[in-house]
């Protein structure tokens, strides 16, 4: 059987040589987890040496990068790509710069839709029909997911089925698939035993194969033992070429070479003990958000500010009372942060990413805490595009549209904000230059009025004030002890919110 696998073994450079000008390439991975670094690095090297291939269409679901040079940042060269359809842009600033300068066609689709679309392409369906994206900038009645002026082709349609409005994301053929696994067995079967996530490796391989394309798999090692059938993530029949990763090109995440807790269960939740957070604005927001958990909640915590909520939950010993999930696939345990985001410490299970989004799409989340870059007077939220920066939505649209209860987390201002806690009171030492509560957001990533009409509970937690979504927009319901209402809340907002007749102080325990 090893002859079957060995016939597929090749170098990264040889595999990359199979890519032609104008091909459509889909790449798997989540930040750094399960990203095939050997393959993207080799593609960059070929282009820099020969200026080939050119004019690729790049498709990816989750953001894959370190914000600098790794991941899909390898592909941020003018001429190498002509079109990018991505779920999250924040970690690939080179591609974002090309998009801002109108040097590539740029689309931002919800992360879950892209990985589910791989299944539809594999199955020969015309596209993905979903409610995800309605009422946001992804909706063709707004921007259709287009990020710049040179992006003109409509890839999303509004359709009406069974008396309801839906979004239809069109299928397209894929020529090349980049995926990653831990091990290739003698038959070329791929397993993910040391990966932090499973991701969408199987849908990618099936979509590429059924499009008549080429599947290239990066692995960490080869095994002479056949993999247990139930442990095969991608059957060898779907893999055309196997590349054994180069040194330092198969780290488990972009922050850690190998952390066994990301694929090992814990004996109990008390064994998960992160370092305590320091008493600052981030901790205040995380502590107040953690107050919103209910016993039995199935929850999702977003990247950035909400990452601290998991650490507070661990400090309080309530990880056993709630189940934290990550859109990449982990269920249970404690989500990791930073460049290990996507992994979870001692998860109870890891499912594939499209299946996790199926669960989210159908309303499976009881609770979610997400970041917010801009919030406006109607309760709309922008996390995707502001000024010259393209961040993208990632899993935000799916999660924010479908979680039953929702908290948006963030400081009132940014760009120089300095706070301190003294005697259980908050002091603003230096105000931020950038107002985050504005009259109108630059782009609608979350539609407040639609959320209110669907009777969903939405609150906005900052270090100094808490608001809730009401029919008229935002209502101020709590203020931090020590904060002056007019000078340090109302005067740093681009609009005047409603003020509750029962205005409360934020809980004192958040300021310990």
- DSSP per-residue string spanning 63-99: --B-SSSSBGGGG--BTTEEEEEESB-TT-HHHHHHH
E strands, 5-46, in order: 24-27
Helix segments in 291-352, DSSP class H? 307-316
Distance CA 322, CA 202 (A): 30
**Residue 431 falls in the annotated catalytic set:** no
Burial of 222 (0-12, 13-18, 19+ CB in 10 A): middle
CB contact at 8 A, 3 and 36: no
Instruction: Please state the separation of Cα 299 from the chain's center in Å.
Output: 15
Beta carbons within 8 Å of 491's beta carbon, 6+ residues apart: none
- DSSP per-residue string spanning 462-501: -SSEEEEEETTEEEEEEE-TT--HHHHTGGGSSSPPEEEE
Distance CA 118, CA 139 (A): 20
- 3-class SS at 298? strand
CB contact at 8 A, 135 and 141: no
3-class secondary structure per residue, 359-386? HHHCCCCCEEEEECCEEECCCCEECCEE
CB contact at 8 A, 181 and 217: yes
Which residue in 410, 331, 318, 402 sits closest to 368, CA to CA?
402
| DSSP 8-state symbol, 124 | T
Cα 199–Cα 380–Cα 469 angle in degrees, nearest 5? 105
CB contact at 8 A, 412 and 436: yes
Check whether the bond before 225 is cis (ω within 30° of 0). Answer: no
Indicate which residue of 143, 315, 327, 463 is catalytic. 327
* Active-site residue list: 327
């Amino acid at each position: 059987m090893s002859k079957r696998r060995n016939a597929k073994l090749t170098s990264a450079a040889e595999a990359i040589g199979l890519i032609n000008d104008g091909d459509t390439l889909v790449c798997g991975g989540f930040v750094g987890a399960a990203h095939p670094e050997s393959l993207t690095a080799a593609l960059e090297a070929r282009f820099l040496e020969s200026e080939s291939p050119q004019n690729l269409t790049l498709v990816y679901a989750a953001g894959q990068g370190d914000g600098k040079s790794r991941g899909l940042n390898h592909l941020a060269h003018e001429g190498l790509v002509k079109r990018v359809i991505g779920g999250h842009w924040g970690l690939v600033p080179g591609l974002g710069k090309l998009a801002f300068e109108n040097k590539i066609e740029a689309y931002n689709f919800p992360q879950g839709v892209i990985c589910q679309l791989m299944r539809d392409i594999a199955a020969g369906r015309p596209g993905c029909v979903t409610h995800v994206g309605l009422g946001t900038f992804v909706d063709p009645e707004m921007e259709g997911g287009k990020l710049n002026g040179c992006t003109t082709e409509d890839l999303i349609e509004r359709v009406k089925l069974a008396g309801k409005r839906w979004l239809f994301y069109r299928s397209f053929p894929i020529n090349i698939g980049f995926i990653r696994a831990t091990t290739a067995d003698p038959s070329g079967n791929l397993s993910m035993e040391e990966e932090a996530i499973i991701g969408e490796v199987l849908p990618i391989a099936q979509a590429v194969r059924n499009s008549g394309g080429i599947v290239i798999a990066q692995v960490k090692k080869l095994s002479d033992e056949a993999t247990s059938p139930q442990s095969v993530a991608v059957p060898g029949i779907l893999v055309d070429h196997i590349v054994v990763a180069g040194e330092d090109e198969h780290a488990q995440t972009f922050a850690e070479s190998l952390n066994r807790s990301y694929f090992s269960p814990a004996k109990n939740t008390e064994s998960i003990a992160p370092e305590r957070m320091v008493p600052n604005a981030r901790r205040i927001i995380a502590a107040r958000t953690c107050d919103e958990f209910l016993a039995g909640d199935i929850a999702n915590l977003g990247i950035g500010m909400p990452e601290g909520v998991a650490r507070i939950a661990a400090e309080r010993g309530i990880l056993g009372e709630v189940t934290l999930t990550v859109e990449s696939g982990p269920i249970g345990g404690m989500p990791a942060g930073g460049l290990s985001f996507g992994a979870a410490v001692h998860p109870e299970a890891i499912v594939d990413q499209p299946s996790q989004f199926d669960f989210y799409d159908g309303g499976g989340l009881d609770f979610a805490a997400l970041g917010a870059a801009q919030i406006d007077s109607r309760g709309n939220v922008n996390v995707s595009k502001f000024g010259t920066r393209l961040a993208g939505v990632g899993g935000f649209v799916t999660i924010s549209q479908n979680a039953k209860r929702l908290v948006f987390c963030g400081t009132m201002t940014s760009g120089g904000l300095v706070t301190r806690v003294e005697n259980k009171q908050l002091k603003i030492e230096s105000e931020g230059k950038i107002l985050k509560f504005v009259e109108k957001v630059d782009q609608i990533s979350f539609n407040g009025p639609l959320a209110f009409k669907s009777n969903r509970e939405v609150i906005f937690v900052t270090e100094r004030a808490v608001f809730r979504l009401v029919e008229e927009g935002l209502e101020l319901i709590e203020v931090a002890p020590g904060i002056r209402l007019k000078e340090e809340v109302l005067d740093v907002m681009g609009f005047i919110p409603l003020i509750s007749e029962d205005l409360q102080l934020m809980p004192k325990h958040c300021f310990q």
